[in-house]
């Protein structure tokens, strides 16, 4: 009995140590987001900690800078267009790749997912020179097409994982019963993969909204995405106006993420686990 | 397939067209097209460019090692949380920085690590240091913030690996009287170490090509290939920018191939696709 008792205590000790480590790690992960929110109310422009007094003037200052409002609008438009195009082009490709009998399937897959491994700043520079030659640089179209290439591999991977779970005999049965291919896609395939396709679309949207290095060379005044606008602002100023904008973004993303997770969780288990490392 | 056309026209062609510029020369600020190896020679013969290459490799190596050392116990700690609800919240917290722009995170670290920031405040009030430590505009700050950006890419493959360990194996070992450390050593660790390789496969190439964090936290003093590419592009020195891009591309591709070889050799290549 004595042995049992001591091993139990040792187990508790390890458990406590793991919990403390977990707490420290979560603190490290959330600290930069938390300090941004605190600093958005800091009365000093040079980010003194702890803030000597609080103010809301950075928020007021933010709304006097029209370039950020325009950047948010441009970013949302580009992200929506990218997500729509990536789904339209990426999910049929994923479907074809998962069905047997395709020649060189591994080669096609490698080609479609290659944009993941290229350093983004290299790709951004290549696209800048490419669109410069076409006279399209500084246009929304050039940015959407660039983001499309970056988002496409993720759509192919996420929807591909979903297509792998499908039972091909259902499609065959529908075809045998005389359904035409578009009918099969609409009535048999799509209802089964609605959720992963939605997830892939959200993924593509977020990826586009977050692009910086690929877009850095493609913007011009008036057609600038939000991350690039923030980056350019931060290279010159480091006052808490950035903190005010970041706080609004963090809150917006947090609310959106929670709402999405809750909505998906209610339907079929947490999304984060469905598209996490396990199901790939 | 239209997707193949998209990738060919918008990915393969622009890159090939871009690489062509590495054979051009810059003469008195004007680009002269042709086939010369001047840009390659200039790059290889200049210690400044080699410093960029060296710092790039050092940053990626340090960041990957720290992510492994910090990430494994972190993944283990998350995995050992029993309540599914608590676990979901912790996973969400670890994942949450991924959806916040790197610019926001870089700003957060600049505020935290600055001379008058919270970290220096805490260190001095705890009596650990007497003056503010220089934590930004140097390699340390860039490394701290880059680890923060890339840690989730290490933790999630590790969580996947831990999840696949059959609990029956641990129970069997415990029933046979193995102490906890021994169970970890002989069951859990051998079955999950390949997760570290999978994580490194994601983290190392991403650290090699990181741009925003070295640029904003390095304050112009941490010179890596990505910052060099940006600077030479702004200076309209396209031949050197192209050669630097090719160098960076070779480093990332080489790293991916080597790490792929390591994970293959460890015989556990399952579940290692890029997320």
> Does A212 sit within 8 Å of B212, measured CB to CB?
yes
- Cβ distance A50 to B121 less than 8 Å, yes or no, reads yes
How many angstroms separate the CA atoms of B170 and A233, rounded? Answer: 53
Question: Both tokens of residue B44?
Answer: 């290889």
The chain-wide mean pLDDT, for chain B, equals 89
Quote the minimal CA–CA distance from B47 to chain A in Å: 22
Within 37-66 of B, beta carbons closer than 8 Å to A belong to: none
Task: Tell me the chain A residues in contact with residue B252 when contact means C-beta distances shorter than 8 Å.
Answer: 117-119
Note whether A62 and A244 are within 8 A (CB).
Answer: yes
B95/A157 touch (CB, cutoff 8 Å), yes or no: no
CA angle A21-A23-A26, nearest 5°?
Answer: 110
> How many contacts does A have with B, using Cβ atoms within 8 A?
252
Collect all residues of chain B within an 8 Å Cβ-Cβ radius of residue A112. Answer: 3-4, 7
Residue ranges of alpha helices (H) inside chain A are: 2-39, 57-63, 66-98, 105-113, 120-134, 140-165, 168-176, 181-184, 190-210, 226-236, 241-268, 271-274
What confidence tens digit (pLDDT) does each residue in B109-158 have? 999 999 889 999 999 999 888 888 999 999 999 999 999 999 999 999 99
Has residue B269 got a pLDDT over 50?
A: no
Verify whether the Cβ–Cβ distance B180 to A14 is below 8 Å.
Answer: yes
Residue B243 lies in a domain: yes
Would residue B86 count as lying in a domain?
Answer: no
Residue A29 C-alpha, separation from nearest chain B C-alpha, in angstroms: 7
Asked if B230 is an interface residue toward chain A (Cβ–Cβ < 8 A), one would say: yes
Residue B73 belongs to domain spanning: 50-81+99-153+196-265
Total residues found in chain B within this entry: 275
Q: Tell me the percentage of chain B whose pLDDT exceeds 70.
A: 96
pLDDT of residue A100: 64
Q: Residues of A with CB below 8 A from B160's CB?
A: 276-278
Q: Which residue from B minimizes the CA distance to A252?
A: B100
- Is A213 within 8 Å of B216 when comparing Cβ atoms? no
Identify from B107, B209, B271 which residue to disrupt to test chain A contact, counting A C-beta atoms within 10 A and taking the largest count.
B107
State pLDDT tens for residues B86-123.
988 898 888 888 888 999 999 999 999 998 899 999 99
How far is B227 from B45, CA to CA, in rounded Å?
Answer: 19
Name the domain count of chain B.
Answer: 1
- Between B55-59, B126-130, B221-225, B269-273, the lowest mean confidence (pLDDT) is in B269-273
Peptide bond into B78 cis (omega under 30): no
Q: Which residues of A fall within a CB distance of 8 Å from B241?
A: 125
Annotate A108-160 with DSSP letters as a single string.
HHHHHHGGGTS-HHHHHHHHHHHHHHHT-TTSHHHHHHHHHHHHHHHHHHHHH
Residue A206: closest CA among chain B residues belongs to which residue?
A: B99
Interatomic CA distance for residues A62 and A59, integer angstroms: 5
- Residue B31 per-residue DSSP state: E
- pLDDT (tens digit, 0 to 9) for every residue of chain A, 280 residues total? 444 555 556 667 888 999 999 999 999 999 999 999 999 999 888 888 888 889 999 999 999 999 999 999 999 999 999 999 999 999 888 888 887 667 788 888 888 888 988 999 999 999 999 999 999 988 999 999 999 999 999 999 989 888 888 888 888 888 899 888 888 888 888 888 888 898 899 899 999 999 999 999 999 988 999 999 999 999 888 889 999 999 999 898 888 878 877 777 666 554 444 444 433 3
The first and second tokens of residue B188, run together, are: 């859990």
| Residues in B 72-101 with any Cβ partner in A closer than 8 A | 73-74, 76-78, 80-81, 88, 90-97, 99-101
CATH code for the domain of B216: 1.10.3720.10
Determine the residue of chain A that is closest to B19 in CA distance: A126
The B residues from 127 to 166 touching A (CB cutoff 8 Å) are 145, 148, 151, 156-157, 159-160, 163-164
Candidate from B103, B248, B253 with C-beta closest to A231: B103
**Tens-digit pLDDT profile for residues B46-80:** 999 999 999 999 999 999 999 999 999 999 999 98
The ipTM of this complex is: 0.89
């Amino acid at each position: 009995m004595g042995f049992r008792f001591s091993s139990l205590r040792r187990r508790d000790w390890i458990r406590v140590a793991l919990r403390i480590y977990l707490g420290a790690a979560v603190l490290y992960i959330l600290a930069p987001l938390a300090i941004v929110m605190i600093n958005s109310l800091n009365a000093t422009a040079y980010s003194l900690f702890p803030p000597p007094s609080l103010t809301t003037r950075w928020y007021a200052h933010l709304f006097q800078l029209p370039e950020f409002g325009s950047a948010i609008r441009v970013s949302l438009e580009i992200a929506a267009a990218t997500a729509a195009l990536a789904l339209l082009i990426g999910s049929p490709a994923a479907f074809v790749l998962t069905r047997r009998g395709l020649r060189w399937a591994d080669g096609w897959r490698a080609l479609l997912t290659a944009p993941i491994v290229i350093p983004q700043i290299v790709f951004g520079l290549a696209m800048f020179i490419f669109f410069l030659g076409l006279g399209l640089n500084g246009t929304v179209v050039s940015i959407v097409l660039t983001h499309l290439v970056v988002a496409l591999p993720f759509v192919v991977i996420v929807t591909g994982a979903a297509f792998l779970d499908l039972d091909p005999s259902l499609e065959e049965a529908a075809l045998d019963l005389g359904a035409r291919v578009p009918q099969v896609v609409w009535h048999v395939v799509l209802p089964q993969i609605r959720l992963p396709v939605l997830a892939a679309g959200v993924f593509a949207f977020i990826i586009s909204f977050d692009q910086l290095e690929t877009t850095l060379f493609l913007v011009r005044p008036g057609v600038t995405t939000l991350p690039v606008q923030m980056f350019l602002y931060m290279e010159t100023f480091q006052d808490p106006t950035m903190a005010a904008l970041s706080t609004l973004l963090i809150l917006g993303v947090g609310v959106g993420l929670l709402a999405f997770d809750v909505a998906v969780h209610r339907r079929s288990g947490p999304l984060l686990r469905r598209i996490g490392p396990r199901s790939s | 397939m239209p997707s193949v056309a998209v990738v060919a026209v918008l990915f393969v062609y622009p890159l090939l067209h871009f690489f062509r510029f590495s054979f051009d020369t810059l003469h008195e600020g004007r680009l002269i097209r042709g086939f010369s190896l001047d840009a390659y020679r200039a790059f290889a013969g200049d210690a400044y460019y080699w410093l960029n290459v060296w710092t790039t490799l050092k940053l990626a190596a340090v960041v990957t090692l720290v992510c492994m050392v910090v990430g494994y116990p972190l993944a283990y700690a998350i995995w050992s949380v029993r309540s599914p609800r608590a676990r979901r919240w912790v996973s969400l917290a670890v994942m949450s920085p991924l959806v916040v722009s790197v610019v926001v995170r870089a700003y957060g670290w600049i505020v935290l690590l600055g001379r008058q920031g919270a970290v220096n405040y805490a260190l001095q009030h705890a009596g650990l240091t007497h003056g503010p430590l220089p934590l930004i505009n140097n390699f340390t700050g860039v490394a701290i913030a880059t680890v923060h950006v890339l840690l989730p890419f290490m933790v999630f493959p590790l969580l996947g690996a831990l999840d696949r360990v059959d609990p029956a194996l641990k129970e069997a070992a415990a029933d046979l009287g193995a102490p906890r450390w021994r169970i970890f050593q002989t069951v859990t660790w051998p079955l999950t170490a390949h997760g570290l390789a999978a994580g490194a496969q994601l983290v190392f190439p991403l650290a090699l090509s990181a741009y925003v964090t070295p640029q904003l936290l390095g304050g112009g003093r941490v010179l890596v290939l990505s910052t060099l590419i940006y600077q030479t592009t702004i200076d309209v020195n396209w031949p050197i920018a192209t050669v630097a891009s090719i160098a960076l591309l070779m480093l990332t591709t080489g790293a991916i191939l080597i790490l792929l070889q390591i994970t293959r050799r460890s015989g556990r290549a399952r579940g290692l696709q890029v997320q």
